Structure 1
Amino acid sequence: MSAVEIEQDLTIWMVDDIPQRMLYAGRRWRVTDIPTRLRESTWSAASAGATGLRGWRFQATDEAGESYVFDVFRAELGWHVHHTWS
């Protein structure tokens, strides 16, 4: 398993405030596990560029069947991917 630290914009669709689908890196993704809520303590404020972060960790699978684990957080201007694991 390899970890990649990135921070890119994405669009997330929620059902009952839980991530279900997303558009990221030009691909459509479907959440394929039970998302885990993340708190500020998961990231240092310096590495994520903000305080008071709230986010999610979940596995998502694209239309080609490729799956990754994503750490996503909501900032002032929308949702961002902070980490991915393949």
Structure 2
Amino acid sequence: MTMVEEAVAIWLSPDGVPERLVWRGQRFRVSDTPTPFGPTPEEVLGFVTHPPRHGVGWRFQGTSDESGHETLMFDVLRDDYRQQWRLLRTYA
């Protein structure tokens, strides 16, 4: 597991489910069924130094469209305060 905490671009289906992600200039298509989750207790309790982040999160497998077809697991959270998607963690 790698902690990341970076802004990413997410494309959603009409139902609001992730379909694609762009991270560090590389595009990944969602290659499994995303699982929804909320912020962890540590993220909610981080309000001491940062405003609380409330939003919907997803865990999904993404496969790169580039040659080599790298596949990773991603944890992303919609940061309502910043109005952006945040990549929290990746798993190889």
* TM-score normalised by the chain length of structure 1: 0.85
What value does the CA root-mean-square deviation take over the aligned residues? Answer: 1.8
Deviation at 1:54? 2.0
Q: How does 1:1-86 map to 2 (within 5 A)?
A: 3-15=1-13, 16-41=15-40, 44-45=43-44, 46=46, 49=50, 50-63=52-65, 64=67, 65-75=69-79, 76-86=82-92
Aligned length: 83
Q: Which has the larger radius of gyration?
A: 2
Are the counterparts in 1 of residues 39 and 77 from structure 2 also a CA contact under 8 Å?
Answer: no
Which amino acid in the other structure matches residue 66 of structure 1? E
- Runs of 4+ more than 6 Å apart: none
Flag the structure with higher strand content: 1
* TM-score normalised by the chain length of structure 2: 0.80
Given the superposition, is the C-alpha separation of residues 79 and 14 from structure 1 closer, same or farther in structure 2, using an over 3 Å criterion?
same
